[in-house]
Amino acid sequence: MPIADVPPQTPQLRDSRQTSSLDALPILQAGHIPPVVVSHAFVCKANVCAFWPIVSDTDRINRLSGMTRIRLEPISNQSAARYRVHTWIGGFPMSYEELPGQWIANEWYAVRRHMLTGPLHALEMRFQLTPTSDGGTLVQYQLIIEPKLRVLVPVARFNGMLRLRRFERELRRLDSALADAQPLSWTSRKHAPDEAVLTRAAGALITCLPEAHRPIGEQLIGLVRDGADFDVTRIRPFALADTCGLDRTAALSVCLHAVMTGLLELSWELICPSCRAASTRSASLSEVPAEGHCQLCDLGFGIDLDRAVEVTFRPAPGVRSVDEGPYCIGGPARTPHVVAQAIVSVGAVVSIPVPDGPARYRRTVNIAARLQGTAKSGEIVLPRDLADQALTAEWLTGAQITETFQAELKGVSAPIGCARLRLIPAPAKAVVSR
């Protein structure tokens, strides 16, 4: 069933140039060959809220679909894309720019990639979750593939359907686990550990732990031995404790002991205050930079050890190799605090429905837009480092800095240095007529 068949109560994304919900988002076309649209739908037993964290985990979904690891190249241009991505798809080397994903939590998600190399112009993925009358979920997937050559149309259609069928098999298996109240176990690549090294490190860990902490140590050893690469590449003690119903402090203590016995390796990660994702990873605290920068948010931030730095763990290299990825740039599962996200193009207006559940919500746009909100008529407010750039002066001919000040923005730990510019009208020219 195509996504276009979704009932009309689907939340709306409204654009000043068009009215659209996910079921009516325009199928854009970059080339002369009509896009290949592959749709598939199936019903799951789990309700929408239980199933959303599964289907919105884009890193795992991309691994399941057979995609290869991606290499990210930061870019800064006029598009919404923040990275140029290099990977292999269907045996072809490809580079593309991926626009930020758009979604409404528990309802739908869509992401589009503009291909720079390879046999495709563009690739777009969409899915929607719709509650069924018996408390289950109608899952609808759609792939929109734009090949450069007409001869590739049947290949694109076959590969697209193959990918969606693979999704269905895995998601049905996870749905059964949810229905039976069993732990979720993703089918994912797992590197086998070096049993001799693992046994030695595990024995040393259990020996040095107090009796009360040994059950936690056993769970950690089991995770390192049997966990998928995705689950062990970034072990967060507090999250592990919450998932397993353990004491947080005890879980952290066990992980630190595991570092000393050679089971785990410790890392220091800088956490973006906006998207809350890790922007950099350092092997020691001395390597943590004085300032952080999140490429996805285009946001620089000061270092606050209590709020911006997180300790994570992974298996020691001698114990086990892991495929750290990445397999995606971002998505709902990486930013679970973001309940809705939309791209607002120039001149467009987007409305997003207010969530039904009671909570504290806020809307966020980029810093430049937030600063500009403090400007008065005839003024421009910019971050000071941007105002001082030669290119800015070239673009804003006739503008003069009238004030510099510090602005404190919610979600940004350090004050932002700002400059207020006023546009000076050009002097009138005398015109002599014959």
pLDDT tens, 30-61?
557 889 999 999 999 999 999 999 899 888 88
Confidence of residue 153 (pLDDT cuts 50, 70, 90): very high
User: Which residues make Cβ contacts (< 8 Å) with residue 52, sequence separation at least 6?
Assistant: 105, 106, 129, 332
Domain co-membership, 45 together with 138: yes
Mean pLDDT of 388-395: 71
pLDDT, residue 39, reads 92
SS3 for 179-210 is: HCCCCCCCCCCCCCCCHHHHHHHHHHHHHHCC
Domain co-membership, 138 together with 93: yes
Domain co-membership, 7 together with 124: yes
pLDDT, residue 263, reads 96
Is the predicted pLDDT of residue 377 greater than 60, yes or no? no
Residue 189 forms part of a structural domain: no
Is the predicted pLDDT of residue 260 greater than 90, yes or no? yes
For 322-346, how does the pLDDT look when each residue is reduced to its tens digit (9 = 90+)? Answer: 988 888 888 898 888 888 888 876 5
Mean pLDDT of 304-329: 86
Domain co-membership, 249 together with 140: no
Confidence of residue 177 (pLDDT cuts 50, 70, 90): confident
Q: 278 has which bridge partners?
A: 271
Is the predicted pLDDT of residue 155 greater than 70, yes or no? yes
Residue 88 forms part of a structural domain: yes
Domain co-membership, 136 together with 200: no
Cα of 412 vs its chain's centroid, Å:
19
Phi and psi torsions of 235, nearest 5°: -80, 120
CA gap 179, 417 in Å, rounded: 53
Mean pLDDT of 217-226: 93
The last residue of a domain, from among 139, 154, 179: 179
Residue 20 forms part of a structural domain: yes
Peptide bond into 326 cis (omega under 30): yes
Domain co-membership, 19 together with 130: yes
| Residue range of the domain that includes 432 | 365-434
pLDDT, residue 18, reads 34
Domain co-membership, 44 together with 155: yes
Burial class (CB in 10 A: 0-12, 13-18, 19+), 400: exposed
Confidence of residue 110 (pLDDT cuts 50, 70, 90): very high
pLDDT, residue 319, reads 94
Mean pLDDT of 94-119: 91
pTM of the model: 0.70
Residue 277 forms part of a structural domain: yes
Domain co-membership, 245 together with 282: yes
Between 152 and 274, name the one with better pLDDT.
152
